[in-house]
Chain A
Amino acid sequence: MTDKVILLVEDSQRDEELALRALRKNNIKNEVIVARDGVEALDYLFGTGTYASGHTTELPTVVLLDIKLPKIDGLEVLRRIRADERTKLLPVVILTSSKEDRDRLEGYASGANSYVRKPIEFSEFAEAVRQLGLYWLILNEPPPPADR
């Protein structure tokens, strides 16, 4: 089994590049799958649509989820993740654009595990990872035997 992947749901290519750079700079070597909108993200997670061929059955370690997304927005994606037995415990870090976003989301009680402000600052990301107990993700060690 390989390192678990990180699912980055981000429609802006520049934000994606900055996010990938931040992860790389901080020695996070996990494979990053990028979904460009909410539909793609859900297809990946539930093996539907373009991912229906059984390309993946393994869930990502963590989902980095932008809020403003084409087609299905981040909050709806999160709702569907939480509503499904298979993914309801999946760690989801919301990428916020501003302090405002974060307040809004807290108001919604959205079910996010953590919030990281864009562009991903390592300190913020490390804090989110610490909150989620995913130490090994940034320690760049092989994951413990799969528990799923």
Chain B
Amino acid sequence: MSAAHSDSQSVRGDTSPVDARRYASAILNILEDSAQEKAQLTRTQRAVLNILDDVAGEKNRLDGTQRAVLNILEDSAEEKTRLADTQRAVLNILDDFDIEKKKVEEVNLELRNEIEERARAEEALRHAKAVAEAASKELEAFSYSVAHDLRAPLRSIDGFSQALLEDCADRLDADGQRYLTHVRESAQQMGELIDDLLSLSRVTRTELRRERVDVTALVRSVLERLRESQPDRQVDQVVQDGLVAQADPRLLDVALTNLLGNAWKFTSKRTSARIEFAAKAGEHPPVYCVRDNGAGFDARYADKLFGVFQRLHAAHEFEGTGIGLATVRRIVTRHGGQVWAEGQVDQGATFYFTLEEGHP
């Protein structure tokens, strides 16, 4: 529009100063407008550039993103490979584990077999033990029954012999009476034998029950019984005070009755008989000893002393069944102890015994 204005001016040809000023200001305006236009253009250009810049940035970013994605994809591939590796490794481990497991199972099987075998062996042992126990019980019942039944006729033999001697003495001469006396003695001896055998077997089958036993008092009571059995005998008795043991009182009573009974019996021909009971000082386990000054024994036969039916003296010298010391040994053995003897003919005898395991 300003161009059209300037065209109209130039057509007229003549310019006044006012018109010149007007022209100048118009031109200035135009220039000004143009400058503004230019500034706008520049701004636009800058904006475009900025946009382009931005686009480029975007592209860069996109590139970056793409690269990153590619990287990620790459990484993922690596990861996948690693995973595959790991998986393989795990599978290997599982394989190994399987092998290991099989091995363990084999070992387990072996162990189980061994355990089963052991259980079978134990079962067999238990069975054998039960059989042995049953057999032993049967044997006990048998021996008890036999002993019982053996006694019945013996009782009649002894009883009626006595009846004959007492009721019919006037019809028997001296020989007849003597014979009958022998019959009675023999019957009684057999009765003792049966009793002793039963006592020996009882020692084996009764349960061992340890408790605190006043050994000194027990020895004195046994000696008292012996004194009562033969009140006219003079025997010097020395019993150590304060002896105490952990033992089965009933079994110990039986053992002491046998040992002290022997001492009593084998000193019967002494004018000054002496029986001592003591524990050897300073021994562990304690060693008890029964010492007498009686007939003693031949040391060469010492090992025979403790056997059943073994006798070192003739029956007419000292009576006895030969079972007493076997019983003593069994009692001592059941306590885990030992028994042994020292002696010489006519020099007395000493019997030693312990009631616990271990060598004194």
Contact = CB atoms under 8 A, between A and B. Distances in A.
Q: Give chain B's interface residue range (CB within 8 Å of chain A).
A: 10 to 19
A97 B202 contact: no
Contacts of A12: 152
Contacts of A141: none
A25 B198 contact: no
B170 interface: no
A15 B155 contact: yes
A12 B155 CA distance: 11
B23 interface: no
Interface in B167-215: 191, 194-195, 198-199, 202
Q: Is the interface of A mostly helix, strand, loop or mixed?
A: helix
B163 A21 contact: yes
A128 to B, nearest CB: 18
Given A12-B152, A15-B152, A99 B159 contact: no
Contacts of A25: 166
A14 interface: yes
Contact of B198 (A18, A21, A98): A98
Contacts of B191: 98
A21 B162 CA distance: 11
B198 A100 contact: yes
Interface in A54-96: 68
Interface in B133-180: 144, 147-148, 151-152, 155-156, 158-160, 162-163, 166
A118 interface: yes
Interface of A: 12, 14-15, 18, 21, 25, 68, 97-101, 103, 118-119
Given A14-B155, A98-B198, 20 more contacts: A12-B152, A14-B159, A15-B152, A15-B156, A18-B156, A18-B163, A25-B166, A68-B148, A97-B148, A97-B151, A98-B148, A98-B195, A99-B198, A100-B144, A100-B195, A100-B199, A100-B202, A119-B155, A119-B159, A119-B162
